[in-house]
């Protein structure tokens, strides 16, 4: 087992790793739409937040020696299911023709109340 972290995204905000590389896979912890410089949630629309989360995931995968084309599964946590289509728009633009398996779940809250979504991912190493 190998701990993975990227200096291109904010450090984990709790007692966990950004990702773990094990048995040929990379398991990413849930990523919030946090800016590197401030550590704060991106202001703006759910689309802005979705793009920041996906960019942070890409940076962690890069640190692990992988990339988004090797993502096999994501779980998206949203605070409002009404944002489903907006998130889908950014998600599909980001992944392009690559279509990882996905679950999308509405939750009552996230660790940062101004965050509208969080995404975790599993990728091939």
- The length of the chain in residues reads 125
d(CA 85, CA 15): 33
> Distance from first CA to last CA of the chain, Å, rounded?
12
Yes or no: say if 77 and 105 are a contact pair by the CB < 8 Å rule.
Answer: yes
d(CA 67, CA 116): 24
At 13 the pLDDT is 79
pLDDT digit string, tens, across residues 92-109: 999 999 999 999 999 999
Average of pLDDT values for 19-30? 98
Global pTM?
Answer: 0.96
List, in sequence order, the alpha helices (H) in the chain.
Answer: 46-63, 84-95
Residue where the block lists tokens 């969080």: 118
Yes or no: say if 19 and 29 are a contact pair by the CB < 8 Å rule.
Answer: yes
Name the 3-class secondary structure at 100: coil
d(CA 16, CA 79): 22
């Amino acid at each position: 087992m190998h701990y993975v972290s990227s200096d291109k995204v904010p450090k984990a905000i709790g007692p966990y790793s950004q990702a773990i590389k094990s048995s040929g896979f990379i398991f990413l912890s849930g990523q919030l739409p946090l800016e590197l410089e401030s550590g704060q949630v991106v202001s703006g629309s759910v689309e802005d937040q979705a793009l920041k989360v996906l960019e942070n995931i890409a940076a962690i995968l890069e640190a692990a020696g992988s990339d988004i084309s090797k993502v096999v599964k994501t779980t998206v946590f949203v605070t409002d299911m009404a944002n489903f289509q907006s998130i889908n728009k950014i998600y599909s633009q980001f992944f392009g023709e690559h279509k990882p398996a996905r679950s999308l779940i509405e939750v009552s809250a996230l660790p940062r109340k101004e965050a509208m979504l969080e995404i975790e991912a599993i990728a091939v190493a």
